[in-house]
Chain A
Amino acid sequence: MNAGAWLVRHAPSWLVPAAAASALVEAGLLIAQAGLIAWLANAVLIEKAGIASLSTPLLELLTALIARAGLVGIRSLTGARASAAARLRLRHKLMVSLLRAGPARVPASGQVLSAFERQVEALDGYYASYLPRTLETLIIPVLVLATVFSLNWIAGLALLLTAPLIPFFMALIGMGAESLSRSQYQSMAQLSGWFLDRASNAATLKLFGAEAAELERVREMTDSLRQKTMRVLRLAFLSSAVLEFLTAIAIASVAIYVGMSLLGYLKFGPSSGLDFFSGLFVLLLAPEFFQPLRQFSASWHDRADARAAVAEIQPLLNLEPARAGGHKQVAAPVHGGCSIRIQEIRFAHPGRQPLFEQFKLEIGAGEKVVLVGPSGVGKSTLMQMLAGFIEPQSGRILFDGVDMTTLSDESLSSHVAWLGQRPVLFHGTIAGNIHRGWPEANADQVRDMAVLARVTEFADRLPEGLEAPVGEGGYGLSGGQVQRIALARALLRPRPIVLLDEPTASLDPAGEARVIAALEAVLSRRSATVVCATHRSATMQWAERIIEMPVCRRIELAS
């Protein structure tokens, strides 16, 4: 879908009708205002009616003026509302898409963060101002022109004659504003990115004693960006100058035409019938004919920004989900493990040789196995498939005879506990993190698990104990300490399958020993099925079976 259509489709459904309605009301009010001013002026100044007798039109004018002021506020408010609604919904959709794609398919976090922080925000101007301005540009000039024509067709013609120029200067706006927006915003962004690079690495500059030279460089760089940008701006400003000029010319020519007609110098067509009322009315309407266009061109860069943003947002909304998704609710056994049967699965990363082809493996219920093998053999890929982060391209994986693809997300996560190499602790407390493993658990269960996983060993030394803050702004914990908290979190809820993906790979020997001790303590209490991928199998003494994963792609393994 092209960016324009995508943007319109993601607008709140009420925005276009609301903007159209407000444009119609605005057109009505501004025509009424011009008409009433002209009428009042004509009545008092030409026809010498006493102002005391004109209280009704004066009140009507007052009402129109107040209503127009109100409309100014309402337009700004609806724009803000529409933009907030659109961005909120988009953020929600993005989040759902990311979480459905899961850890194996989500792109680099920098790209995603930028999509959320910058690109979604870049749509603000589009919904808050560009889209409403577009409707005003379509509606208001037409109604103004119709009114002018009804008053005096020659004046109408004068405005209409500038209309063929409109596509011309729309193109100019397009070229001008687009390149203005692109070059000005881009060079601003470039400059701020470049400056951030310099500022955040100022330490390196000091290492080389290059301070003075770099200060000169900053000056030089901002200067060259200025020159580059100004070259484009000089041209781009022409488009707004053209608009400015057309408005001025239209007002001037209407004024002179009306003036000459009133003086009786022009005798053809409707000129002789032109009176002061319609002359002033037309003059007041002339600038309003161009006003929407000027606002429209001012918000043009919002369109360019939004279109650029869509290009980055769209792929994130269409990420391939981790699982096709099943709906079967299967209660996980509370005690004991599940058997795992891997049936002739195939898996290949895009554009690569298949990692698995007709791969088979059976693991009995409650069996504790270790997968070993050189890196790149597919240990992690297999673990990701068992955890449901990716699905095999063919073949099936059965948990206690149930195809795991048919399980609902909830059922799957109630079956499988997963512990990775570098677990992440969430902002909160140690206990809070463990609790996330099973929100239904009570405080005693959390505490017992913390003791078992040897979390209390270090937590009790902290002033807040298990309530010590972790994550952003919390205590700096060592890798082994984090791993033990994550272990307690993953195993708090009794899940029949425990997957351990290189749980000690990023730890030093001392940390590794502690995590392994914690692991043994926890696993000895459980009869769950355990699958552990590791390149240090010797340390996993609880293992009942060691499975060597060979490099060859056609393998058959059975217990």
Chain B
Amino acid sequence: MRRWVSLLLPEPGQRRWLLLALLLASIAAVAAAGLLALSGWFITATGLAGLGLLASLDIFAPGAGIRAFAVGRTVARYLERLIGHEATFAQLAALRVRLFSSLLGFDVMALQKMRRGDTLARLTGDVDTLDHFFLRLASPTIATLALTALVAAGLYWLAPGLGMIVAVMLLVLGPLQLLALQAACRRPGVSLAHAAVEQSTGLAETLSGMAEIKALGQARQQVEQASRSARLRLGFEFGLRLRESLARFGLALVGNLSIWLVLGLGLMLFEAAELTAPQVILASLAVVAVAEAWPGLAAGWSFFETSRQAGKRVLALERNSQAAIYGRMRTSFDQPIIMDRVSFRYSPAADPVLDDLSLVIEPGEHLLVEGPSGCGKSTLGMLLARMAQPSAGSIRIGAVDYQQVEPACFRKQLGYLAQQPVLFQDTLGHNLRLARPDADDSLLQATLESLELGDFLRRLPDGLDSWLGEAGHTVSGGEARRLALARLILGDFRVLVLDEPTAGVDLATSLKIAARLEPWLAGRTVIMLSHDPKSLPGFSRRIVLEPWAAGREFTPRAEVRPCP
């Protein structure tokens, strides 16, 4: 448990600001309590003076104190919010950079796997959870503890008994209740997370299987099932809220009992002439202000377990991050790529997608791999781009095994256009510069023109600075593919693996693109994977991947045909 808390510790540069924010939060809390307490003291004193029971009363010092507390409370609260938020935002940035850099420590294959398994989506949720930890839990708890401790110390100085009441009731019983709440919320918290996953899985299934459900006449059963899982989830959630409500009650109770005890003891001490009347009122009203702060802490603490789980997952990711599954060999890609009896299956139990495939791709060769969908073309592309590893056999560049090539060396020389190319939610320029950070605007424009994207660029409101994707300019499938192609061209790779480079682009446009690409492709090794080669740039050799003979479903073999 200690370990994950380290995630929340501020960066050295931010430490001062966080401490300042906490200090200000405490000052604001103390000023609020002080205002009420001093006001009580003041009117008690004036009441006694008015009745002639108090010989002399300086009304200016307390008046100034009241004004100072009033202003101090406002200013401290405002500054605390500003500085606290600044510091928290800096903390969030640090957490994200840290998580992202450990993500980048994984290799491409592991990342693909995590993406399929929703690990990455959940991690983002975890970071959001940790974001709330400071704002909702850490900061208010620390400020409340500081206030309570200060008031307890002050009362102890007035009369030890009063201080002891606050110390036992709030400084001991308060934190104990919060810890008990955190422990009690652990199991329902885990069950809630499971129920939530189950519910959303069920919902996704209902949506994708809507036609089946309707046709089978099972709509009513489906509604009932959805209601059941919603009730289950809300049941666990309510269990958490019930515990939170109990803790609120418990915290309010110890707070209110402290008020009563301090007032009662104060009055008794007054009778025993150990305290003056204004002091009794001062003490009681300070405790009124302290008691008010405690119940609100329950909300944050009921989610302690969620934060802990999130923190643990983020830490586990950091631990598992490993870069060194590849060798450190550097080699030129101006050599033949040799696939030697390569097989690939997604799991040991599954039928092979590629079986015993051997192939030599000469440098500078333009190879077309053809075949119906599902024949293993994309898998072949992923293997050639080292996005997947063969289940059996090996792939070499010259004499060097693919796995031995140093990652930076590999990625600098081999470019890969995925079947579903990724454009980031970012500016167009940033997306293009991924492959060549130093490219200037005119180079980007020229590259876009060569792919018939000049009109696309001119339509964008901010040109290369236009934001793409969510909350930005939406890009069609064909445009996305051409933008990804532009990015590859900018990368100036020696070897290109292009999976369906012209899918989603109309024939006339793709013919124009093919004509412009050809001179650029000359001299580079190009592997094109396509089920529809009409619109591709010229190729010097063609391979057809065909499903294997009947009896072994989906097992393709490569048949090498001479170029027409």
Which A222-256 residues sit within 8 Å CB-CB of chain B? 222-223, 225-226, 229-230, 233-234, 237-238, 240-241, 244-245, 248-249, 251-252, 254-256
- Asked if residues B424 and A198 are in contact (CB atoms below 8 Å), the reply is yes
Contact with A along B59-74 (1 / 0, CB 8 A): 1000100110111011
* B193 beta carbon closer than 8 Å to chain A: no
Which A261-280 residues sit within 8 Å CB-CB of chain B? 262-264, 275-276, 279-280
- Asked if residues B44 and A489 are in contact (CB atoms below 8 Å), the reply is no
Chain A residues lying within 8 Å of B226, measured Cβ to Cβ, are: 91-92, 95
Chain B residues lying within 8 Å of A444, measured Cβ to Cβ, are: none
Return B177 CB to nearest CB of chain A, in Å.
Answer: 12
**What is the chain B residue whose CB lies nearest that of A499?**
B215
* A149 beta carbon closer than 8 Å to chain B: no
Given the complex of chains A and B, what is the CA–CA distance between A190 and B264 in angstroms? 54
- Asked if residues A226 and B86 are in contact (CB atoms below 8 Å), the reply is yes
**What is the chain A residue whose CB lies nearest that of B280?**
A45
- Asked if residues A418 and B59 are in contact (CB atoms below 8 Å), the reply is no
- Asked if residues A472 and B205 are in contact (CB atoms below 8 Å), the reply is yes
Given the known inter-chain contacts A413-B216, A510-B547, please indicate yes or no for A76 contacting B103, CB distance below 8 A: no
* B36 beta carbon closer than 8 Å to chain A: yes
* A416 beta carbon closer than 8 Å to chain B: yes
Given the known inter-chain contacts A208-B491, A263-B46, A283-B43, please indicate yes or no for A202 contacting B93, CB distance below 8 A: no
Chain A residues lying within 8 Å of B373, measured Cβ to Cβ, are: 508
Given contacts A203-B112, A204-B422, A217-B430, 5 further A-B contacts (CB under 8 A): A88-B231, A223-B93, A255-B38, A263-B46, A508-B373
The interface of chain A, by Cβ under 8 A from chain B, is: 37, 40-41, 44-46, 50-51, 58, 61-62, 65-66, 68-70, 72-74, 76-77, 80-81, 84, 87-88, 91-92, 95-96, 98-100, 102-103, 106, 109, 112-113, 116-117, 188, 190-211, 213-215, 217-219, 222-223, 225-226, 229-230, 233-234, 237-238, 240-241, 244-245, 248-249, 251-252, 254-256, 258-260, 262-264, 275-276, 279-280, 283-284, 287, 322, 387-389, 409-410, 412-414, 416-418, 420, 423-424, 426-427, 436-437, 471-472, 475-476, 478-480, 486, 489-490, 508-511, 513-514
Chain A residues lying within 8 Å of B96, measured Cβ to Cβ, are: 191, 195, 218, 222
Return B408 CB to nearest CB of chain A, in Å.
Answer: 6
* B442 beta carbon closer than 8 Å to chain A: no
Which B69-123 residues sit within 8 Å CB-CB of chain A? 69-71, 73-74, 77-78, 81-82, 85-86, 89-90, 92-93, 96-97, 99-101, 103-104, 106-108, 111-112, 115, 120-121, 123
* B203 beta carbon closer than 8 Å to chain A: yes
* B12 beta carbon closer than 8 Å to chain A: no
Given the known inter-chain contacts A190-B471, A195-B96, A508-B373, please indicate yes or no for A222 contacting B89, CB distance below 8 A: yes
- Asked if residues A203 and B387 are in contact (CB atoms below 8 Å), the reply is yes
What are 9 A-B residue pairs whose CB atoms fall within 8 Å in the complex?
A: A37-B284, A44-B270, A69-B249, A74-B249, A199-B123, A226-B90, A262-B46, A263-B59, A511-B554
Given the known inter-chain contacts A88-B231, A190-B471, A193-B425, please indicate yes or no for A206 contacting B411, CB distance below 8 A: yes
- Asked if residues B74 and A244 are in contact (CB atoms below 8 Å), the reply is yes
**Which residue of A51, A72, A116, A424 is within 8 Å of B295 (Cβ)?**
A72
Given the complex of chains A and B, what is the CA–CA distance between A45 and B284 in angstroms? 13
Return A54 CB to nearest CB of chain B, in Å.
Answer: 8
- Asked if residues A73 and B248 are in contact (CB atoms below 8 Å), the reply is yes
Return B153 CB to nearest CB of chain A, in Å.
Answer: 23
Contact with A along B450-486 (1 / 0, CB 8 A): 0000000000000000000111000000000000000
- Asked if residues B36 and A88 are in contact (CB atoms below 8 Å), the reply is no
Chain A residues lying within 8 Å of B385, measured Cβ to Cβ, are: 207
* B350 beta carbon closer than 8 Å to chain A: yes
- Asked if residues B347 and A476 are in contact (CB atoms below 8 Å), the reply is yes
- Asked if residues B216 and A92 are in contact (CB atoms below 8 Å), the reply is no
- Asked if residues A200 and B219 are in contact (CB atoms below 8 Å), the reply is no
- Asked if residues B70 and A476 are in contact (CB atoms below 8 Å), the reply is no
Given the complex of chains A and B, what is the CA–CA distance between A446 and B92 in angstroms? 55
- Asked if residues A215 and B215 are in contact (CB atoms below 8 Å), the reply is no
Question: Binding site of A, secondary structure by majority: helix, strand, loop or mixed?
Answer: helix
Given the known inter-chain contacts A426-B205, A427-B201, please indicate yes or no for A195 contacting B124, CB distance below 8 A: yes
- Asked if residues B281 and A99 are in contact (CB atoms below 8 Å), the reply is no
Given the known inter-chain contacts A208-B491, A215-B100, please indicate yes or no for A69 contacting B253, CB distance below 8 A: yes
Tell me which of A37, A207, A417 has the highest count of chain B C-beta atoms within 10 A of its own C-beta. Answer: A207
Which B31-67 residues sit within 8 Å CB-CB of chain A? 32, 35-36, 38-40, 42-51, 57, 59, 63, 66-67
Chain B residues lying within 8 Å of A283, measured Cβ to Cβ, are: 36, 39-40, 43
- Asked if residues B227 and A88 are in contact (CB atoms below 8 Å), the reply is yes
**Which residue of B46, B78, B350 is within 8 Å of A237 (Cβ)?**
B78
Return A159 CB to nearest CB of chain B, in Å.
Answer: 14
Chain A residues lying within 8 Å of B260, measured Cβ to Cβ, are: 58, 61-62, 65
Chain A residues lying within 8 Å of B242, measured Cβ to Cβ, are: 77, 80
Given the known inter-chain contacts A109-B208, A204-B422, A210-B434, please indicate yes or no for A410 contacting B227, CB distance below 8 A: no
- Asked if residues B107 and A206 are in contact (CB atoms below 8 Å), the reply is yes
Given the known inter-chain contacts A199-B120, A244-B74, A427-B201, please indicate yes or no for A258 contacting B207, CB distance below 8 A: no
> Interface-forming stretch among B143-151, B183-191, B233-241, B354-362?
B233-241
**What is the chain B residue whose CB lies nearest that of A433?**
B212
- Asked if residues B223 and A95 are in contact (CB atoms below 8 Å), the reply is yes
Chain B residues lying within 8 Å of A238, measured Cβ to Cβ, are: 78
- Asked if residues A99 and B214 are in contact (CB atoms below 8 Å), the reply is yes
- Asked if residues B252 and A69 are in contact (CB atoms below 8 Å), the reply is yes
Given the complex of chains A and B, what is the CA–CA distance between A205 and B500 in angstroms? 20
Return B450 CB to nearest CB of chain A, in Å.
Answer: 19
Return B203 CB to nearest CB of chain A, in Å.
Answer: 6
- Asked if residues B219 and A409 are in contact (CB atoms below 8 Å), the reply is yes
**Which residue of A199, A279, A480, A489 is within 8 Å of B43 (Cβ)?**
A279
Given the complex of chains A and B, what is the CA–CA distance between A59 and B131 in angstroms? 45
Given the complex of chains A and B, what is the CA–CA distance between A219 and B277 in angstroms? 58
Return B540 CB to nearest CB of chain A, in Å.
Answer: 26
Given the complex of chains A and B, what is the CA–CA distance between A533 and B387 in angstroms? 39
**What is the chain B residue whose CB lies nearest that of A109?**
B207
**Which residue of A92, A190, A193, A471 is within 8 Å of B205 (Cβ)?**
A471
**Which residue of B50, B101, B416, B437 is within 8 Å of A263 (Cβ)?**
B50
Return B281 CB to nearest CB of chain A, in Å.
Answer: 6
Chain B residues lying within 8 Å of A200, measured Cβ to Cβ, are: 115, 120-121
Chain A residues lying within 8 Å of B195, measured Cβ to Cβ, are: none
Return A76 CB to nearest CB of chain B, in Å.
Answer: 4
Give the 3 A-B residue pairs with the shortest CB-CB distance, closest first: A413-B217, A73-B249, A255-B39
Given the complex of chains A and B, what is the CA–CA distance between A12 and B529 in angstroms? 59
**Which residue of A96, A244, A413, A508 is within 8 Å of B554 (Cβ)?**
A508
**Which residue of B42, B124, B222, B281 is within 8 Å of A192 (Cβ)?**
B124
- Asked if residues B270 and A73 are in contact (CB atoms below 8 Å), the reply is no
* B327 beta carbon closer than 8 Å to chain A: no
* B256 beta carbon closer than 8 Å to chain A: yes
- Asked if residues A248 and B73 are in contact (CB atoms below 8 Å), the reply is yes
Return A455 CB to nearest CB of chain B, in Å.
Answer: 14
- Asked if residues B203 and A76 are in contact (CB atoms below 8 Å), the reply is no
Chain B residues lying within 8 Å of A510, measured Cβ to Cβ, are: 547, 550, 553-554
**What is the chain B residue whose CB lies nearest that of A472?**
B201
Given the complex of chains A and B, what is the CA–CA distance between A194 and B470 in angstroms? 9
Return A298 CB to nearest CB of chain B, in Å.
Answer: 10
- Asked if residues A241 and B74 are in contact (CB atoms below 8 Å), the reply is yes
Chain A residues lying within 8 Å of B257, measured Cβ to Cβ, are: 65-66
Chain A residues lying within 8 Å of B372, measured Cβ to Cβ, are: 508-509
Chain A residues lying within 8 Å of B90, measured Cβ to Cβ, are: 226
**Which residue of A40, A45, A58 is within 8 Å of B277 (Cβ)?**
A45
Given the complex of chains A and B, what is the CA–CA distance between A251 and B39 in angstroms? 8
- Asked if residues A197 and B104 are in contact (CB atoms below 8 Å), the reply is no
- Asked if residues A213 and B437 are in contact (CB atoms below 8 Å), the reply is yes
Chain A residues lying within 8 Å of B349, measured Cβ to Cβ, are: 475
- Asked if residues A215 and B104 are in contact (CB atoms below 8 Å), the reply is yes
- Asked if residues A418 and B215 are in contact (CB atoms below 8 Å), the reply is yes
Chain B residues lying within 8 Å of A249, measured Cβ to Cβ, are: 70
Given the known inter-chain contacts A234-B82, A476-B350, please indicate yes or no for A388 contacting B214, CB distance below 8 A: yes
Chain B residues lying within 8 Å of A218, measured Cβ to Cβ, are: 93, 96-97, 100
